[in-house]
Amino acid sequence: MKGFRTLARIGVVLCLVVVVMGGWVRLTDAGLGCPDWPGCYGRLVAPDMTHAEAAGEAFPERPLDTGKAWREMIHRYAAGVLGLVMFALAILALLNRRDPEQPRGIPLFLAVLIVFQALLGMWTVTLLLKPLVVMGHLLGGMATLALLAWLALPSRRTQPDGGAALRRVAGIALAVAVVQIALGGWVSANYAALACPDLPTCQTRWWPAMDFASGFKAWHGLGIDYQGGILHNSARVAIHVTHRIGAVVALFVIGLGAIWAWRRAPAAPGRTAALLVGGAVLAQFAVGIAMVGLSLPLPLAVAHNGFAALLLLSLINLTKVAWRAD
Protein backbone atom coordinates (compact mmCIF):
# COMPACT_ATOMS: atom_id res chain seq x y z
CA MET A 1 0.00 0.00 0.00
CA LYS A 2 2.90 2.38 0.63
CA GLY A 3 4.06 2.09 -2.98
CA PHE A 4 0.48 2.38 -4.23
CA ARG A 5 -0.17 5.59 -2.30
CA THR A 6 3.17 7.05 -3.38
CA LEU A 7 2.26 6.41 -7.01
CA ALA A 8 -1.19 7.92 -6.41
CA ARG A 9 0.44 11.06 -4.98
CA ILE A 10 2.67 11.31 -8.03
CA GLY A 11 -0.49 10.99 -10.10
CA VAL A 12 -2.13 13.86 -8.18
CA VAL A 13 0.79 16.20 -8.88
CA LEU A 14 0.97 15.17 -12.53
CA CYS A 15 -2.80 15.50 -12.97
CA LEU A 16 -2.73 18.97 -11.44
CA VAL A 17 -0.04 19.93 -13.96
CA VAL A 18 -2.12 18.49 -16.82
CA VAL A 19 -5.26 20.35 -15.69
CA VAL A 20 -3.44 23.69 -15.39
CA MET A 21 -1.64 23.09 -18.68
CA GLY A 22 -4.98 22.32 -20.33
CA GLY A 23 -6.26 25.70 -19.19
CA TRP A 24 -3.11 27.36 -20.55
CA VAL A 25 -3.59 25.64 -23.93
CA ARG A 26 -7.24 26.69 -24.07
CA LEU A 27 -6.60 30.28 -22.98
CA THR A 28 -3.85 30.77 -25.58
CA ASP A 29 -6.16 29.48 -28.35
CA ALA A 30 -3.89 26.47 -28.88
CA GLY A 31 -6.63 23.86 -28.64
CA LEU A 32 -6.47 23.44 -32.42
CA GLY A 33 -2.70 24.03 -32.58
CA CYS A 34 -2.57 20.49 -33.92
CA PRO A 35 -5.55 19.90 -36.25
CA ASP A 36 -5.19 16.11 -36.08
CA TRP A 37 -4.91 13.56 -33.29
CA PRO A 38 -2.88 11.93 -31.74
CA GLY A 39 -0.11 13.40 -33.90
CA CYS A 40 0.45 16.96 -34.98
CA TYR A 41 0.22 17.64 -38.72
CA GLY A 42 0.84 13.92 -39.22
CA ARG A 43 3.91 13.84 -36.95
CA LEU A 44 4.42 12.56 -33.40
CA VAL A 45 6.59 15.62 -32.70
CA ALA A 46 5.27 19.13 -33.37
CA PRO A 47 6.70 20.31 -36.72
CA ASP A 48 8.88 23.38 -37.04
CA MET A 49 8.68 26.02 -39.76
CA THR A 50 10.74 23.89 -42.14
CA HIS A 51 7.65 21.68 -42.39
CA ALA A 52 5.23 24.60 -42.81
CA GLU A 53 4.69 24.01 -46.51
CA ALA A 54 3.88 20.32 -46.07
CA ALA A 55 1.65 21.12 -43.10
CA GLY A 56 -0.20 23.74 -45.13
CA GLU A 57 -0.79 21.29 -47.95
CA ALA A 58 -2.15 18.65 -45.55
CA PHE A 59 -4.29 21.10 -43.54
CA PRO A 60 -4.83 24.23 -45.65
CA GLU A 61 -7.50 25.50 -43.24
CA ARG A 62 -5.02 25.44 -40.31
CA PRO A 63 -1.75 27.22 -41.08
CA LEU A 64 1.08 25.99 -38.87
CA ASP A 65 1.74 27.99 -35.71
CA THR A 66 4.70 26.28 -34.05
CA GLY A 67 4.06 27.88 -30.64
CA LYS A 68 0.48 26.64 -30.49
CA ALA A 69 1.48 23.24 -31.88
CA TRP A 70 4.12 22.74 -29.21
CA ARG A 71 1.79 23.84 -26.40
CA GLU A 72 -0.81 21.32 -27.52
CA MET A 73 1.73 18.49 -27.92
CA ILE A 74 3.37 19.12 -24.53
CA HIS A 75 -0.09 18.87 -22.99
CA ARG A 76 -0.68 15.59 -24.84
CA TYR A 77 2.68 14.18 -23.73
CA ALA A 78 1.94 15.04 -20.08
CA ALA A 79 -1.54 13.49 -20.36
CA GLY A 80 0.05 10.35 -21.85
CA VAL A 81 2.41 9.99 -18.89
CA LEU A 82 -0.54 10.47 -16.54
CA GLY A 83 -2.34 7.68 -18.36
CA LEU A 84 0.59 5.34 -17.76
CA VAL A 85 0.51 6.18 -14.03
CA MET A 86 -3.19 5.40 -13.86
CA PHE A 87 -2.80 2.08 -15.68
CA ALA A 88 0.02 1.23 -13.24
CA LEU A 89 -2.32 1.96 -10.32
CA ALA A 90 -4.95 -0.35 -11.83
CA ILE A 91 -2.37 -3.13 -12.26
CA LEU A 92 -1.15 -2.72 -8.66
CA ALA A 93 -4.75 -2.85 -7.45
CA LEU A 94 -5.27 -6.16 -9.23
CA LEU A 95 -1.98 -7.62 -7.99
CA ASN A 96 -2.76 -6.60 -4.39
CA ARG A 97 -6.47 -7.46 -4.54
CA ARG A 98 -6.21 -9.86 -1.57
CA ASP A 99 -5.06 -7.02 0.69
CA PRO A 100 -8.20 -5.81 2.56
CA GLU A 101 -6.84 -2.24 2.60
CA GLN A 102 -6.21 -2.14 -1.15
CA PRO A 103 -8.72 0.01 -3.09
CA ARG A 104 -9.80 -1.79 -6.24
CA GLY A 105 -12.87 -0.11 -7.70
CA ILE A 106 -11.47 3.43 -8.04
CA PRO A 107 -8.15 2.43 -9.69
CA LEU A 108 -9.97 0.28 -12.24
CA PHE A 109 -12.50 3.05 -12.89
CA LEU A 110 -9.64 5.51 -13.38
CA ALA A 111 -8.14 3.26 -16.06
CA VAL A 112 -11.45 3.42 -17.93
CA LEU A 113 -11.80 7.16 -17.30
CA ILE A 114 -8.38 7.97 -18.77
CA VAL A 115 -9.34 6.16 -21.96
CA PHE A 116 -12.55 8.20 -22.15
CA GLN A 117 -10.52 11.34 -21.46
CA ALA A 118 -8.28 10.48 -24.41
CA LEU A 119 -11.40 10.15 -26.58
CA LEU A 120 -12.65 13.53 -25.37
CA GLY A 121 -9.24 14.99 -26.21
CA MET A 122 -9.55 13.59 -29.72
CA TRP A 123 -13.13 14.86 -30.10
CA THR A 124 -12.06 18.29 -28.86
CA VAL A 125 -9.88 18.50 -31.97
CA THR A 126 -12.01 16.63 -34.49
CA LEU A 127 -15.23 18.42 -33.45
CA LEU A 128 -13.46 21.80 -33.58
CA LEU A 129 -13.69 22.79 -29.91
CA LYS A 130 -17.38 21.98 -29.47
CA PRO A 131 -18.24 23.56 -26.06
CA LEU A 132 -19.97 20.46 -24.67
CA VAL A 133 -16.89 18.35 -25.41
CA VAL A 134 -14.47 20.98 -24.08
CA MET A 135 -16.42 21.27 -20.82
CA GLY A 136 -16.68 17.48 -20.56
CA HIS A 137 -12.92 17.20 -21.02
CA LEU A 138 -12.37 19.70 -18.20
CA LEU A 139 -14.77 17.90 -15.87
CA GLY A 140 -13.15 14.57 -16.71
CA GLY A 141 -9.79 16.01 -15.78
CA MET A 142 -11.16 17.36 -12.50
CA ALA A 143 -12.81 14.00 -11.74
CA THR A 144 -9.50 12.26 -12.39
CA LEU A 145 -7.75 14.67 -10.03
CA ALA A 146 -10.36 14.16 -7.31
CA LEU A 147 -10.24 10.35 -7.49
CA LEU A 148 -6.44 10.28 -7.49
CA ALA A 149 -6.46 12.53 -4.42
CA TRP A 150 -8.93 10.20 -2.69
CA LEU A 151 -6.53 7.29 -3.30
CA ALA A 152 -3.50 9.30 -2.17
CA LEU A 153 -4.98 10.39 1.16
CA PRO A 154 -4.79 8.06 4.20
CA SER A 155 -7.85 5.94 4.90
CA ARG A 156 -7.63 5.15 8.59
CA ARG A 157 -8.43 7.64 11.31
CA THR A 158 -6.85 7.94 14.73
CA GLN A 159 -9.28 10.54 16.10
CA PRO A 160 -13.03 11.22 15.72
CA ASP A 161 -13.96 12.73 12.38
CA GLY A 162 -17.02 14.73 13.43
CA GLY A 163 -19.64 12.25 12.30
CA ALA A 164 -22.53 12.60 9.88
CA ALA A 165 -22.84 16.39 10.18
CA LEU A 166 -19.32 17.01 8.87
CA ARG A 167 -19.96 14.55 6.06
CA ARG A 168 -23.09 16.43 5.00
CA VAL A 169 -21.31 19.80 5.10
CA ALA A 170 -18.38 18.47 3.08
CA GLY A 171 -20.71 16.81 0.57
CA ILE A 172 -22.79 19.96 0.01
CA ALA A 173 -19.68 22.12 -0.41
CA LEU A 174 -18.18 19.64 -2.85
CA ALA A 175 -21.39 19.51 -4.92
CA VAL A 176 -21.55 23.32 -5.13
CA ALA A 177 -17.89 23.47 -6.19
CA VAL A 178 -18.45 20.91 -8.96
CA VAL A 179 -21.39 22.89 -10.36
CA GLN A 180 -19.35 26.10 -10.28
CA ILE A 181 -16.39 24.43 -11.99
CA ALA A 182 -18.76 23.21 -14.71
CA LEU A 183 -20.09 26.76 -15.15
CA GLY A 184 -16.53 28.04 -15.37
CA GLY A 185 -15.78 25.48 -18.05
CA TRP A 186 -18.86 26.59 -19.99
CA VAL A 187 -17.72 30.22 -19.75
CA SER A 188 -14.30 29.33 -21.12
CA ALA A 189 -15.58 26.99 -23.84
CA ASN A 190 -17.92 29.70 -25.13
CA TYR A 191 -15.39 32.55 -24.86
CA ALA A 192 -17.63 34.45 -22.42
CA ALA A 193 -14.99 35.46 -19.86
CA LEU A 194 -15.00 39.11 -20.98
CA ALA A 195 -18.69 39.37 -21.81
CA CYS A 196 -19.00 41.54 -18.69
CA PRO A 197 -15.91 43.79 -18.55
CA ASP A 198 -17.02 45.74 -15.46
CA LEU A 199 -17.74 44.96 -11.80
CA PRO A 200 -20.10 44.62 -10.03
CA THR A 201 -22.35 45.55 -12.97
CA CYS A 202 -22.26 43.96 -16.40
CA GLN A 203 -21.88 46.31 -19.35
CA THR A 204 -22.83 49.13 -16.92
CA ARG A 205 -26.17 47.45 -16.04
CA TRP A 206 -27.21 45.34 -13.07
CA TRP A 207 -29.33 43.08 -15.25
CA PRO A 208 -28.37 43.40 -18.94
CA ALA A 209 -30.17 41.72 -21.83
CA MET A 210 -29.46 37.99 -21.61
CA ASP A 211 -30.35 35.06 -23.87
CA PHE A 212 -30.21 32.04 -21.58
CA ALA A 213 -31.72 29.67 -24.15
CA SER A 214 -28.91 30.29 -26.63
CA GLY A 215 -26.24 30.60 -23.96
CA PHE A 216 -26.96 27.18 -22.49
CA LYS A 217 -27.85 25.34 -25.68
CA ALA A 218 -25.76 22.19 -25.49
CA TRP A 219 -25.64 21.23 -29.18
CA HIS A 220 -25.21 23.45 -32.23
CA GLY A 221 -24.55 20.80 -34.86
CA LEU A 222 -21.48 19.28 -36.46
CA GLY A 223 -18.91 20.89 -38.70
CA ILE A 224 -18.93 24.27 -36.90
CA ASP A 225 -15.59 25.81 -35.96
CA TYR A 226 -16.05 27.02 -32.37
CA GLN A 227 -12.64 28.68 -31.99
CA GLY A 228 -13.34 32.22 -30.82
CA GLY A 229 -16.96 31.31 -30.03
CA ILE A 230 -20.11 31.47 -32.12
CA LEU A 231 -22.59 32.96 -29.63
CA HIS A 232 -23.96 36.48 -29.83
CA ASN A 233 -23.40 39.03 -27.06
CA SER A 234 -26.55 38.47 -25.00
CA ALA A 235 -25.94 34.71 -24.93
CA ARG A 236 -22.38 35.17 -23.68
CA VAL A 237 -23.60 37.68 -21.11
CA ALA A 238 -26.11 35.11 -19.82
CA ILE A 239 -23.33 32.57 -19.33
CA HIS A 240 -21.04 35.07 -17.63
CA VAL A 241 -23.71 36.44 -15.27
CA THR A 242 -24.75 32.90 -14.30
CA HIS A 243 -21.13 32.12 -13.45
CA ARG A 244 -20.89 35.29 -11.36
CA ILE A 245 -24.03 34.39 -9.42
CA GLY A 246 -22.65 30.90 -8.97
CA ALA A 247 -19.39 32.35 -7.63
CA VAL A 248 -21.25 34.31 -4.95
CA VAL A 249 -23.30 31.24 -4.00
CA ALA A 250 -20.17 29.09 -3.90
CA LEU A 251 -18.32 31.61 -1.73
CA PHE A 252 -21.27 31.75 0.68
CA VAL A 253 -21.95 28.00 0.88
CA ILE A 254 -18.36 26.75 0.85
CA GLY A 255 -17.18 29.58 3.11
CA LEU A 256 -19.86 28.89 5.70
CA GLY A 257 -19.14 25.18 5.45
CA ALA A 258 -15.44 25.81 6.10
CA ILE A 259 -16.23 28.01 9.11
CA TRP A 260 -18.64 25.42 10.52
CA ALA A 261 -16.11 22.61 10.04
CA TRP A 262 -13.31 24.66 11.61
CA ARG A 263 -15.44 25.38 14.69
CA ARG A 264 -17.06 21.95 15.06
CA ALA A 265 -14.45 19.43 13.91
CA PRO A 266 -13.29 17.60 17.05
CA ALA A 267 -9.75 16.88 15.84
CA ALA A 268 -6.87 18.78 14.24
CA PRO A 269 -7.13 17.10 10.78
CA GLY A 270 -10.69 18.36 10.37
CA ARG A 271 -9.83 21.91 11.42
CA THR A 272 -6.78 22.00 9.17
CA ALA A 273 -8.85 20.69 6.25
CA ALA A 274 -11.46 23.39 6.88
CA LEU A 275 -8.79 26.13 6.86
CA LEU A 276 -7.47 24.85 3.53
CA VAL A 277 -10.97 24.94 2.04
CA GLY A 278 -11.57 28.48 3.32
CA GLY A 279 -8.26 29.72 1.97
CA ALA A 280 -8.81 28.09 -1.43
CA VAL A 281 -12.33 29.49 -1.93
CA LEU A 282 -11.24 33.01 -0.92
CA ALA A 283 -8.25 32.88 -3.26
CA GLN A 284 -10.39 31.63 -6.15
CA PHE A 285 -12.99 34.36 -5.61
CA ALA A 286 -10.30 37.07 -5.42
CA VAL A 287 -8.59 35.86 -8.60
CA GLY A 288 -11.94 35.82 -10.40
CA ILE A 289 -12.55 39.47 -9.47
CA ALA A 290 -9.01 40.45 -10.49
CA MET A 291 -9.42 38.71 -13.85
CA VAL A 292 -12.37 40.92 -14.78
CA GLY A 293 -10.84 44.09 -13.34
CA LEU A 294 -7.59 43.57 -15.27
CA SER A 295 -9.26 42.38 -18.52
CA LEU A 296 -8.30 38.71 -18.31
CA PRO A 297 -4.48 38.68 -18.18
CA LEU A 298 -3.18 35.24 -19.10
CA PRO A 299 -1.33 34.52 -15.80
CA LEU A 300 -4.45 35.25 -13.74
CA ALA A 301 -6.68 33.26 -16.10
CA VAL A 302 -4.38 30.23 -15.79
CA ALA A 303 -4.23 30.76 -12.01
CA HIS A 304 -8.04 30.78 -11.88
CA ASN A 305 -8.04 27.35 -13.49
CA GLY A 306 -5.37 26.17 -11.06
CA PHE A 307 -7.13 27.50 -7.97
CA ALA A 308 -10.31 25.69 -9.05
CA ALA A 309 -8.30 22.47 -8.99
CA LEU A 310 -6.79 23.34 -5.59
CA LEU A 311 -10.25 24.12 -4.20
CA LEU A 312 -11.43 20.74 -5.41
CA LEU A 313 -8.44 19.04 -3.77
CA SER A 314 -9.09 20.82 -0.48
CA LEU A 315 -12.73 19.68 -0.53
CA ILE A 316 -11.72 16.10 -1.31
CA ASN A 317 -9.36 16.28 1.66
CA LEU A 318 -12.15 17.56 3.93
CA THR A 319 -14.49 14.85 2.64
CA LYS A 320 -11.88 12.13 3.21
CA VAL A 321 -11.31 13.35 6.77
CA ALA A 322 -15.07 13.18 7.37
CA TRP A 323 -15.39 9.65 5.93
CA ARG A 324 -12.31 7.94 7.32
CA ALA A 325 -13.03 4.43 8.54
CA ASP A 326 -12.21 3.10 11.99
Q: Are residues 122 and 172 in the same domain?
A: no
pLDDT computed for residue 54 by the predictor: 87
Same domain, 216 and 124: no
Do 96 and 185 belong to one domain?
no
Residue 72 designated active-site: yes
Name the active-site residue from 53, 57, 61, 72: 72
pLDDT of residue 256: 97
What residues make up the domain containing 191? 158-326
Task: State mean pLDDT over 311-317.
Answer: 97
Whether 210 and 190 map to the same domain: the answer is: yes
62 and 186 both lie in a single domain: no
* pLDDT tops 50 at residue 16: yes
Question: What average pLDDT does range 231-244 have in this prediction?
Answer: 98
- Residue 40, beta-bridge partner list: 43
Same domain, 124 and 196: no
What is the CA angle 165-167-170, rounded to 5? Answer: 110
Residue 183 and residue 63 share a domain: no
Are 147 and 178 in the same domain? no
Domain boundary among 152, 183, 198: 152
Q: What is the pTM of this model?
A: 0.94
- Determine the straight-line distance between the first and last CA of the chain, rounded to whole angstroms: 17
- Span 102-106, average pLDDT: 92
Residues in Cβ contact with 228 at an 8 Å cutoff, skipping those fewer than 6 apart: 29, 191
Same domain, 146 and 163: no
The CA-CA-CA angle for residues 41, 47, 53, to 5°, reads: 75
